[in-house]
Amino acid sequence: MENYLIRTNANHAGVFRTSVESDKVLQEAHRGMADLLNARNADEIVFGANMTTLTFAISRSIGRLLNRGDTILLTHMDHEGNVGPWMHLARDLGLKVKWLKFNLKTYEYDLNEFAELLSEGNVRLAAINYASNCLGTVNDVKRITEMAHQSDTIVFVDAVQYVPHGP
């Protein structure tokens, strides 16, 4: 980081030396993260100021797919960075918000309740975390995603806290 910031930190896609070097460093970082996260390719990796800022931006993009009265599903297990942006979106678009609880003994999502919430209809988005920053729980994201997709529900996963645990 020090070398990058001191010697190659420049605007991207420029034609001058530091810009070209900066692009190379970022391309290597994207490839490295893709390898670490088991991504299909480096184009799936996005860097930003922080996850909260990225989630806010993504929430606005996903919001274009939603309509007034649609339901989004949030959890109390999540970091504020994966709740606040969606709450703002719900307020701005007139969306309903429902909350997925977690078991206070196991600290895991209640998947029976999740199925019940999905069956109530009109749940267009489920925003969940892969691993809880407070509880240490690693959630069964594969199962949750399978369940949600059966109901044509979009799943947004904040996986920042999962990186040390997986893939």
Gap between the Cα atoms of 29 and 36, Å rounded: 10
Query: What are the structural domain ranges in the chain?
Result: 2-44, 51-162
* pLDDT per residue as tens, the chain (167 positions): 888 888 888 888 999 999 999 999 999 999 999 998 888 999 999 899 999 999 999 999 999 999 999 999 999 999 899 999 999 999 999 999 999 999 999 999 999 999 999 999 899 999 999 999 889 899 999 999 999 999 999 999 998 888 888 76
Return the pLDDT at 35: 92
CATH number belonging to the domain at 51-162, selected among 3.40.50.720, 3.40.640.10, 3.40.50.300, 3.40.1280.10: 3.40.640.10
Confidence at residue 19, expressed as pLDDT on a 0 to 100 scale: 92
